[in-house]
Amino acid sequence: MNSFAPLQNDTFLRALRREPTDYTPIWLMRQAGRYLPEYRATRAQAGSFMQLAQNPDLATEVTLQPIDRYGLDAAILFSDILTVPDAMGLGLRFVENEGPKFDRPLQDEVAVHRLEVPDMAKLQYVFDAVTQIRQSLNGRVPLIGFAGSPYTIACYMVEGGSSSEFRTIKTMMYTRPDLLHHILSVNAQATALYLNAQIDAGAQAVMIFDTWGGSLSHSAYKEFSLAYMRQVIGALKRNVDGESVPVIVFTKGGGQWLEAMSEIGADALGLDWTTNLAEAKKRVAGKVALQGNIDPSILFGSEALIRQTARLVLDEYGADAGHVFNLGHGISQFVQPDAVKYLVDEVHAYSRQIRGAK
Ligand code: CP3
């Protein structure tokens, strides 16, 4: 097994475990990305997004860039949720300005029945990146591993790319639910293996991104998204060498399902900006920690607005244990890098102040 340097800043892990911290830890979804000039330089060197993700040296470099620049409290593996369907043989390509595309989407019964849990050896480049990032972090902050939710990756697998109305997958859901359940069951098994291999490789917490669960009806969410996330979580390694490995679940647009989400075995729930943090905290009643939830577009505002809104979010949660500060969704490529500095500084300074005043 791997042996890694001891952790120097465990604030993020403590917050996920709902233990007291000196301040509120912060990291940002998509923190390694195109808004950073140093990311754009490394990506140009790699040639493409997938070549960057598949090269552990370069993936390590871009993972550490935002940590070096801002002093964030957690690093997140540089990769993508679509590596799993790629390993299933669907043929992933990223088309400039159009996003991800699959050459062989699952649009008929034959294709669906051919789908199998992939050999994890095909994803070895991800696990190598995890180990190398963890070594390079040298204990500075914890490393988050991640995967897409079974339903969210199914959206891309069935639609063949990004979609706004999800006509193909919803037609399958309402005409051949058996086919969709088959895909989701394979995805859930693959996702559990994938996250466990990331944990073995050195990930200290894992996050499930359910970006599209919020497009479902109330009952469909529970049947097609939540139930499969529960299966994944139930199969995860939750303890490594006496340290717990916390699990974060984020359904974008999932604010109305927090009570149900808090029952599936996750340690923390991610919230988008449409939910009030104080109310969410009451609703989950101390069962889980909360992560979020400033509107990512605040980063287009002035320094004063960014600082003021960060304080509002921190005041909503209050000084109790169990809050990880984050955006309500990924950072935009059009954000000016200094905006992130104002946010991180304000969260660190003001949250220390709230705790001091307690
Ligand atoms: O957060 C991080 O810094 C870690 C890396 C990360 C990426 N994608 C890198 C990436 C993570 C956690 C993801 C998750 C992901 N990928 C999600 C779930 C979270 C969310 O944003 O809702 C989804 C839906 C995807 C699928 C995906 N990957 C899309 C739709 C796109 C294209 C859209 C875009 O922003 O261009 C990607 C590409 C991608 N993944 C980029 C990055 C940094 C941009 C690639 C580039 O450099 O061109």
Condensed to tens digits (0 to 9), the pLDDT of residues 157-208 reads 999 999 999 999 999 999 999 999 999 999 999 999 999 999 999 999 999 9
Q: Which residues of 50-79 are buried (b: 16+ CB within 10 A; e: fewer)?
A: bebbbbbebbbbbbbbbbeebebbbbbbbb
Distance 99 CA to ligand 1 centre (A): 9
- Does residue 20's CB lie within 6 angstroms of at least one atom of ligand 1? no
pLDDT score, position 275 = 96
Distance 156 CA to ligand 1 centre (A): 13
- Does residue 336's CB lie within 6 angstroms of at least one atom of ligand 1? no
Distance 228 CA to ligand 1 centre (A): 22
**Most ligand 1 atoms within 8 A of CB, residue of 43, 54, 55, 80 to mutate:** 80
Query: Which residue is listed with tokens 């790319």?
Result: 161
Chain mean pLDDT for the chain: 97
| Closest atom of ligand 1 relative to the 99 alpha carbon | 32
With contact defined as beta carbons under 8 Å apart, do 233 and 265 qualify? yes
pLDDT score, position 98 = 87
Percent of the chain with pLDDT over 90: 96
- Does residue 101's CB lie within 6 angstroms of at least one atom of ligand 1? no
Which residues, 6+ apart, have CB-to-CB distance to 259 below 8 Å? 283, 284
Q: Could you say which DSSP state residue 251 is in? A: E
pLDDT band at 95 (very low <50, low <70, confident <90, very high): confident
CA distance 244 to 248: 13
Tokens representing residue 6 in the block: 């001891």
Residues recognised as catalytic: 30, 34, 43, 80, 156
Q: Terminal CA-to-CA distance of the chain, rounded, Å? A: 43
Nearest CA to ligand 1 atom 5: 78
pLDDT score, position 150 = 98
pLDDT band at 217 (very low <50, low <70, confident <90, very high): very high
- Does residue 40's CB lie within 6 angstroms of at least one atom of ligand 1? no
CB atoms within 10 A of CB 307: 18
Distance 282 CA to ligand 1 centre (A): 31
Nearest CA to ligand 1 atom 34: 99
Percent of the chain with pLDDT over 70: 99
| Closest atom of ligand 1 relative to the 152 alpha carbon | 24
Q: Cα dist. 16→21, 113, 177 in Å?
A: 10, 39, 35
pLDDT score, position 1 = 59
Nearest CA to ligand 1 atom 1: 30
| Residue 249 pLDDT exceeds 90 | yes
| Residue 348 pLDDT exceeds 80 | yes
